[in-house]
Amino acid sequence: MPDLEKNEIQIGYIPLLDCVAILWAKQRGFFDELGLKVTLVKEASWASLRDRLAFGFLDAAHCLSAMLPAAALGKDQLGIPLQTALVLSQNCAFISLSQKLCFELHISRQDSAQESAQKIVSALQQQKSIQLAHVFQQSIHHYCIREWLALANIDIAQHIKLATLPPPYMVEALSNHVIDGFCVGEPWNTQAELSGMSQIVAESQDIIPPVADKVLTVTADWAEQHPHTHFALVQAIQKAQQELKILEDYTAVWQMLIEFNIIQFQCSDRIHVQKFHSIQMIIRHFVHESSKPRSEDFKWLIEQMQKWDQIEIDVAEIEQISQNCILYLKE
């Protein structure tokens, strides 16, 4: 392998299940094998992670896919180009509502996404106060909530005011009655459900296409200056992804997630068995086929920005930005 331009690397992440491949690559020494000394940096919010990556305090980060086209469009107020060569997860979010709200509106686990959305919409039309939250303006979670509500009423989906909260604060906000529901990645839906506070009412896979959710992101300038280092980073994380797909004993993975304070609840193959195996299957299938990013995913994200954020952009520009979000690696 060619000499690395930089050996000491800082990777930012938000405590979510889909940063697991980055953590596992560190745990298993895959970065070390390629000459990388990686420090993992937990960030408090997606906004702080994005800003620290854009301004060079982080070398790479576990990012929301929609942050990349948002940066290209200048919607992040920074305008620093971001790129990715690796998908970390595809469309794996859930919508959870408080158990109290589910009881009041007769929302059951057997309801389809459209049925649960219709019950929420009907309550809103009757002037019931319902506060829903997502993790970031430019995220599949934001668009998933709006597309879910749009199954019942496009006007309400367009005009409802949504709160924005970092993923780790969703459960606390629900507990304190600040919000009534949220769309977030795991394990926060499971934590809220096992604590008796909420109920998962819809899966993003039933509402939106299988687009990239989280991606390993670098700035375009950083990638240009550190091509060999970037290639090594991607290679190490891909090795972790492959191992997590075929790993039989997840004991070490669970312990790692507990140590990183991502899993904060009792859940094992002996306690809450169904949830344990559900989370294990999510980890195995974060990336369905290839971990290479697709321009179609970024096109869909930009189209969602047009639809829900009133961004004006022509077709040719959508194509160009979608392509520019992707970094095609050369060894």
pLDDT for res 268 = 67
Q: The CATH number of 8-91+211-324 is which of 3.40.80.10, 3.40.50.300, 3.40.190.10, 2.40.50.100?
A: 3.40.190.10
Instruction: Note the helical H segments in 17-137.
Output: 20-27, 30-33, 46-54, 67-72, 99-105, 113-125
Q: Determine the Cα–Cα distance for residues 170 and 95; give it in Å rounded to an integer.
A: 12
Q: Determine the Cα–Cα distance for residues 7 and 160; give it in Å rounded to an integer.
A: 47
Q: Determine the Cα–Cα distance for residues 116 and 128; give it in Å rounded to an integer.
A: 15
Peptide bond into 187 cis (omega under 30): yes
All residues at 6 or more sequence positions from 329 whose CB lies less than 8 Å from its CB, including other chains: 85, 230, 231, 234
Burial of residue 143 (number of CB atoms within 10 Å: 0-12, 13-18, 19+): buried
pLDDT for res 312 = 85
pTM equals 0.94
Q: Determine the Cα–Cα distance for residues 142 and 158; give it in Å rounded to an integer.
A: 11
pLDDT for res 52 = 96
pLDDT for res 295 = 95
pLDDT for res 266 = 76
Q: Where in the chain is the domain with CATH 3.40.190.10?
A: 8-91+211-324, 93-206
pLDDT for res 76 = 67
Neighbouring CB atoms inside 10 A of 162's CB total 18
Which parts of the chain sit beneath pLDDT 70? 1, 76-77, 267-269, 331
| CATH superfamily assigned to domain 93-206 | Periplasmic binding protein-like II (3.40.190.10)
Phi, psi of 177 (to 5 degrees): 65, 25
